């Protein structure tokens, strides 16, 4: 396989979500020729709650792809308070003194990142769906063939590029659903982010307002619950609050579950974001990991393929997702769920720990060793 970013063909990135756009921006900013193709035309919608953790905000602003004032301009809401519930019982409300969670519209956010990549010099080709890929080129639905020196699969769950390495597309066995309820249809706007556990195993229901509409949705990564069971739980949750589901459209999308590729691909084929399985198995967070892995892939390519050096940092997104795959059992397993719920209810430290995890300011290992020792 070729593994030389200086060969005459450009780096080809399939997928223009946060992973692909960040990778293209970083490569183009370093003067490396790259083309990004996406089947959609931007701006496009993406099923997502659009929450950005403090860690994600830091990655965006410190890298320079989204300076702080531009992130502020994209922000629809910012939260410091979270309420934690177990099957309708309020466990605790927690307010952070230090960090916040921002809400953005994925339509706007992704579009801005694509514009950033384009302004940095990446060639953006939209409306081109990759339908086959091999070790030298990618062919699209319209019959165009793109030769590459390096190929980056940033094509989300069910990644086609993943097939070039493993013989199989990504599976995307996790799933998320959401309803958007206009605030005008509700008696009041929730003042904090609500997290509701206990409606189905290994997942939760969230309630988050963006100031115009309330997103009520489910995330389930690695859950034994079937999609129909999850939808049933979500509909029951809404109906119990007097919200008639029939009035609103249900949106759903796959999430990668237990599909982490710790090497972000192989040889000159790279994977980033959902395509690499980089979704937190507790929170379902994936935007920050997509951006960070896009940058990591760009660094690997800039360094001539030196994955070992670039990926060795212990606190990167790969390490966080690995930890989440282990520690999720403490929160969600039927054997420990009750104890975890009592811990969140009775112990401020647990709630602080949960907030730290979803903010990305403490790793799972650090948090659990602090709390449990």
Ligand X SMILES: Cc1cc2nc3c(=O)[nH]c(=O)nc-3n(C[C@H](O)[C@H](O)[C@H](O)COP(=O)(O)OP(=O)(O)OC[C@H]3O[C@@H](n4cnc5c(N)ncnc54)[C@H](O)[C@@H]3O)c2cc1C
Q: What is the binding site for ligand X (CB under 6 A)?
A: 14-20, 37-40, 46-51, 129-130, 154-156, 160, 176, 178, 217, 219, 253, 255, 273-275, 279, 284-288, 290
Residue 168 beta carbon to ligand X: minimum distance, rounded to whole angstroms? 15
User: In the complex with ligand X, which residue's Cβ is closer, 152 or 343?
Assistant: 152
Question: In a 3-state reduction of DSSP, which class is residue 193?
Answer: strand
The residue (of 32 and 275) whose beta carbon lies closer to ligand X is 275
In this structure, the strands spanning 204-209 and 77-79 are unpaired
Q: Measured from the CB of residue 151, what is the shortest distance to ligand X in angstroms?
A: 12
Nearer CB in complex with ligand X: 163/345: 163
By C-beta, is 27 or 255 nearer to ligand X? 255
Side-chain-side CA neighbours of residue 1 (13 Å): 19
The one-character DSSP state at 49 is -
Rounded distance, CA 217 to CA 251, Å?
A: 9
Nearest-approach distance from CB 23 to ligand X, in angstroms:
9
Nearest approach in angstroms of CB 242 to ligand X is 23
Nearer Cβ to ligand X (317/341)? 317
Q: How far is CA 90 from the centre of its chain?
A: 27
In the chain, the largest separation of any two C-alpha atoms, in whole Å, equals 62
Radius of gyration of the chain (CA): 20
* CA distances for 250 relative to 85, 195, 232, 244, angstroms: 23, 19, 12, 12
Mapping DSSP to helix (H, G, I), strand (E, B) and coil, where does residue 160 land?
coil
Measured from the CB atom, the residue of 193 and 343 that comes closer to ligand X is: 193
Q: How far is the CB of 253 from ligand X (least distance, A)?
A: 4
- Specify whether the CB–CB gap between 146 and 116 falls below 8 A: no
Q: Which is nearer to ligand X, 205 or 343 (CB)?
A: 205
| Cα torsion angle, 76, 100, 283, 314, sign | positive
Compute the least distance from the CB of residue 315 to ligand X, in Å.
Answer: 17
**Nearest distance from C-beta of residue 222 to ligand X, angstroms:** 14
Residue with smallest beta-carbon separation from ligand X = 286
CA gap 343, 339 in Å, rounded: 6
Query: Of the candidates 278, 269, 36, 258, which has an alpha carbon nearest to the alpha carbon of residue 162?
Result: 269
């Amino acid at each position: 396989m070729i593994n030389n970013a200086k060969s005459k063909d450009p780096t080809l990135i399939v997928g223009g979500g946060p992973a692909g756009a960040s990778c293209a921006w970083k490569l183009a900013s370093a003067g490396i020729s790259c083309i990004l193709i996406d089947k959609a035309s931007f701006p496009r919608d993406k099923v997502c709650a659009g929450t950005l953790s403090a860690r994600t905000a830091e990655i965006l602003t410190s890298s320079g792809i989204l300076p702080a004032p531009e992130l502020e301009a994209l922000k629809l809401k910012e939260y410091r308070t979270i309420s934690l519930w177990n099957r309708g019982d309020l466990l605790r409300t927690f307010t952070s003194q230090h960090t916040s969670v921002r809400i953005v519209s994925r339509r706007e956010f992704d579009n801005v990142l694509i514009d950033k990549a384009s302004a940095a010099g990446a060639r953006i080709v939209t409306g081109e769906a990759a339908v086959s890929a091999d070790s030298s080129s990618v062919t699209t639905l319209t019959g165009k063939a793109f030769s590459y020196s390096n190929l980056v699969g940033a094509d989300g769950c069910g990644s086609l590029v993943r097939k070039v390495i493993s013989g199989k597309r990504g599976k995307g066995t996790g799933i998320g659903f959401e309803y958007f309820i206009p605030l005008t249809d509700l008696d009041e706007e929730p003042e904090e982010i609500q997290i509701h556990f206990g409606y189905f195993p290994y997942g939760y229901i969230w309630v988050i307002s963006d100031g115009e509409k309330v997103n009520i949705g489910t995330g389930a990564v690695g859950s034994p619950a079937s999609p129909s069971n999850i939808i049933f739980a979500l509909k029951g949750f809404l109906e119990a609050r007097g919200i008639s589901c029939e009035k609103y459209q249900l949106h759903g999308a796959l999430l990668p579950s237990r599909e982490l590729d710790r090497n972000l691909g192989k040889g000159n084929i790279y994977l980033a974001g959902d395509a690499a399985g980089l979704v937190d198995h507790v929170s379902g967070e994936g935007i920050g990991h997509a951006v960070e892995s896009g940058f990591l892939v760009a660094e690997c390519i800039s360094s001539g393929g030196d994955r070992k050096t670039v990926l060795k940092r212990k606190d990167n997104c790969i390490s966080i997702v690995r930890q989440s795959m282990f520690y999720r059992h403490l929160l969600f397993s039927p054997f420990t769920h009750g104890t975890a719920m009592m811990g969140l209810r009775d112990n401020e430290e647990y709630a602080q720990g949960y907030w730290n995890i979803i903010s990305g300011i403490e790793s799972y290992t650090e948090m659990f060793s602090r709390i449990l020792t």
